[in-house]
Every structure is written in structure tokens, then in C-alpha cells.
Structure 1
Amino acid sequence: MSEPSNPVSSSGKHEDPRIKRFPEDERIKRPPEDARLKRVPVDEKVERAPGFIRTLFHPRDLGALFVTRRLVGEDETAYDELLSKITTALWPEDVIEAIWVKEFVDCIWDALLYQRTKVGFITEAQKNAVQSLVKLQDRTIAQWLAGDKSATAAVEKALKSQGYDRDALLARALSGKLDKLEQLGRMIENVERRRDKALKSLERRRENFPRRRGPTIEGSTEPNW
């Protein structure tokens, strides 16, 4: 028994007569056959890397090289948020770039820590100077340090009676402590140099190996940690 021959449709394709086709709804507008698959023209000015996919090597994937922040009083949630935002911005693609990104983040974090330490050092020195100059309740001094307006007015009035203004108080507070203040300043400068060096090293490597960089796939999204 011979097989039934397949009729040829208007589009030139063979159709199986055993398959029942429903008539097309004229209300539905369909594009022409040759327009359904349309290639987007390639921009020749864009240098594309093979694969077009940008991989991500997160600093947390460094394993034993990734040291958890454990200093007393440090906010690990804030550190993780900073790490995630900078990682998304710089997008390290291998272990070398991940190490530099982590170094960059750690330097920013340490610089903030040293800045807070410097502020705390000056604040403590001012408190000791006020306590040595005027007789005020510890609560009033604590409120003054916290920025309370009424306490600030009381402290400034008491200091004025002793011939001190804000600048004179600061000079007295830091008398004999400038070496410690300079040491903190050097620590901040050193960590900022390390921060800049890490970023420059990352940029230099990417300039030397441009073939590693490629645009993301159109329509893809970057992860949000």
C-alpha cells in the first residue's frame, strides 16, 4: 500500500494530510514569514569578546583567603553591603581581580575605621579637658558630646567664664597628644594609598588584557546581593 503523497502548501512546505489545521483568525495580525526572524545589525565599533558573557568571581569565593571581619564593634552587615555594592560595580572576573576588589573594599573599610578612631580620640580629649576646667555634671557633658543644644550652651558658658572658646579648648585637649593624632593621620594616608593602588592594579590589568572584557548579553541582568 503506497503512502499518500504530501500536498505542497502555498509557502512551499509539504504538509501531512492527517494533520487537521484550523483556519487562521483574520483578526490576528501576523508578520510576514520573512520578517519573523530578523537579525539585529552588529555594531562593528564594539569589540566583542568570545561568548559575550561576563562571568563574576565574587571575593567571597576566595575561600580561606576571605577573612571574616571580627573586630569588636564592627558591623558585619554594613561591610557585606559595601562589599556587594563594590563587587557589582567593579565586577571581578577571576581570582586575581577578586583579590584586588577585596583589597579595595578592605582599604575603604579600614579608612572609615581610622577616621572614626580619630574622631573618638579627639572627642575623648575634649571631654577630659572640659572636666579639668569646669565643674559640670557628667550627664551634661555627655549630652554636650551628643550634640544637645541646651547642654552645649551650658558647657560653652562655663568655658567662657574660664576664658576658653572652642578653639582654645581643642588646643588644650590636644596638647601633648599631637604625636598620636599624626600617627592616626599617617595610618589613614597609608590605607588610602593601598586603596588607590588596588584600583589602579585592577584597571591596568584590564587595559593589558582587553580581550577578557565583553559586553553582557542583551537583556541579561546582573545579580543583586
Structure 2
Amino acid sequence: MKKLFLFFVSTLAAGMIFFIGNESVSAEELGTDEIITNVTTVGGVTIEEIIVPNEINEEWEKENGWEDSHSVEEMTSELITSSPFQSATPKPGITTYGASAPLFTYWDVKNGSYSFSGSFKANNALYTNKAIKGATQYKATITNTGSTKVGFEARDRLKVYKSSTLLVSATTHLKVNMSSASNSFYLKFYPINGAGSVKGTISKN
């Protein structure tokens, strides 16, 4: 199993991004035995992203104890599908671009993992309805269940801690490290090449 390590450390105040690594790969060139790992640090929040090809993802999760995140009691999420400027009553799970990102609405991972799934049109962006808190270390599994690439951000209302792309042929795993259990983050998904769909789970690591 070939592993490609791409390390990124960004300094918000200085506005600089440093790259360290001896081998790089385009997201479009991800092979069936290649794993991409990159680390970003923004505002004191460190996120390690691990992109695993779907062909070997089940094996990788077993080897790394990642499947434990799926055994925690989950909260099923729902999706609102409306135009980006249409008002809608928020429901648990993911909202469209027309609804605001979560504000003072939280899911504490001490109560179990947070599970979500949904699809969106080409002009929509989606947010988890609740921000995640309750721990200093989290793990998330995100799967692109559509046929086109999907952009995503791990963020709060002021900072984007991680911005990346969900590939169709791979599963994205995140390890999130925060300085305090009272700090929170949520996920935002947005189209790159048209409509798409995602599913995932966030839990305490």
C-alpha cells in the first residue's frame, strides 16, 4: 500500500502557507493503492486529512480502528432541498445555502456521534445544522456518494480550518484537534462540477 504524505502548515497572521514533502499527486491521479495525507493548522486547530481509495477503505478502517466511529449511537440527519435564496424552516442535519450556518446550535459528541447525509443541486451549498463540540479530538468520515467532486470546509463562523475536495473514488477521514472542548466546528459542502451528494459521521476520537 503506497502512502503519499503532503504536509501543510498555515499561519493565519502571517498569511503564509508552507509545503513540505518529497512526492505529490494530483487528486485526479489517486491510484487504488495510494493514500494521501495532509495536515493543516489554522487558528490553533489542527486537522489531519486522510484520503483513502474506496477499494481499500474498509481494510484501512479496520487496520486503523476507524470503524469504531460507526458503532457509536448515531443521530440521523435530514436534508432541506430548496433554491439558495428560498427561505426554509431548518431541520436536523444539513441545510441549504439559503439557511444560515449553525449559530448557537450544537451537537455534543458525548451524547454519541453525529451522522448526516443528503444531496444538493448545482447552485446549492449545504451546512450541518449543528456545530460539533464536547471534545478536543474528533474523527470524521465523509463519503462523496455522487458522481462529481464536492468541495468542503471544516470551519466555525469566523475561520475556515480546512478546505478540500471530496473525490468520487475515495473516502475522506479527518482527525480534528482543538484546544478546548467548548470550541466547535461545522462542515460546509458546496458543488464544484454540478449537483452532488454526501454522507458522513463525526464522533469523539
Q: Which has the higher helix share?
A: 1
Q: Which has the higher strand share?
A: 2
- TM-score, normalised to structure 1, is 0.16
Q: Bigger radius of gyration, 1 or 2? A: 1
Q: Choose between structure 1 and 2 for higher RCO, CA contacts under 8 A separated by at least 6 residues.
A: 1
